[in-house]
Chains A and B, each alone.
Chain A
Amino acid sequence: EAGVAQSPRYKIIEKRQSVAFWCNPISGHATLYWYQQILGQGPKLLIQFQNNGVVDDSQLPKDRFSAERLKGVDSTLKIQPAKLEDSAVYLCASSLEGPGQGYTEAFFGQGTRLTVV
């Protein structure tokens, strides 16, 4: 079974530039998560989709971050403009069901390591 695919693996940008990350979840997984993991910390949920609807985006800095999941499959996460503190690994995960529907295991992609200079 193919896992969660993310691209790019690494990205270096200057502050105030824009960047976009892409995620392709495991086929058939209804729930998709974007997490931000800063070095030495646990993953922090940015946004959670159930099919193509947003379930939770309470921790997404909406003045600069946006995410979409068109057709309930692939998802993109965008940062515009980037700040130095956005340097982190951005992890995409998917699960068959979300935490509110009889949660099943979340599978993670390898992540995108973003460095803002």
Chain B
Amino acid sequence: RKEVEQDPGPFNVPEGATVAFNCTYSNSASQSFFWYRQDCRKEPKLLMSVYSSGNEDGRFTAQLNRASQYISLLIRDSKLSDSATYLCVVTSWGKLQFGAGTQVVVTP
């Protein structure tokens, strides 16, 4: 089993709609959680950290469920510019582990 797993998608989302997807992790001792965004042929960039109480940044909401060992990302009012691959990142035992990414395609 991979340490960090994501649904690869693609999630095809009409502009203005809401999309949500999860990431599961295998190490119950994982400490920190993040969502990175990667545009096609570009480097990953931090989108947001994920806190235990859940957190929101504009149209983006991240949640952490330690009991079920997953984190989620919800995007409201999707924009064309939200089209990208969203990488789940988990820190465990001093390592920064990436998932394979979830591709989101926002269509007009």
Which residues does A use to contact B, with CB under 8 Å?
A: 33, 35, 40-45, 48, 55-56, 91, 98-100, 103, 105-106, 108-111
Contacts and interface: CB of A to CB of B under 8 A. Distances in A.
Contact of A42 (B31, B91, B92, B101): B101
Nearest to A41: B100
B32 A99 contact: yes
B96 interface: yes
Contacts of B32: 99, 103
A100 B98 contact: no
9 contacts: A35-B98, A42-B4, A42-B101, A45-B97, A100-B93, A100-B94, A103-B96, A109-B43, A111-B43
B43 A42 contact: no
B43 A110 contact: yes
Nearest to B96: A99
A91 B93 CA distance: 21
A110 B96 contact: no
Contacts of A91: 43-44
Contacts of A48: 94-96
Interface in B47-105: 87, 91-101
B23 to A, nearest CB: 10
B91 A105 contact: no
Contact of B96 (A40, A106, A109): A106
A30 B94 CA distance: 14
B1 interface: no
Contacts of B17: none
Nearest to B99: A42
A105 B47 CA distance: 10
B46 interface: yes
A106 B95 contact: no
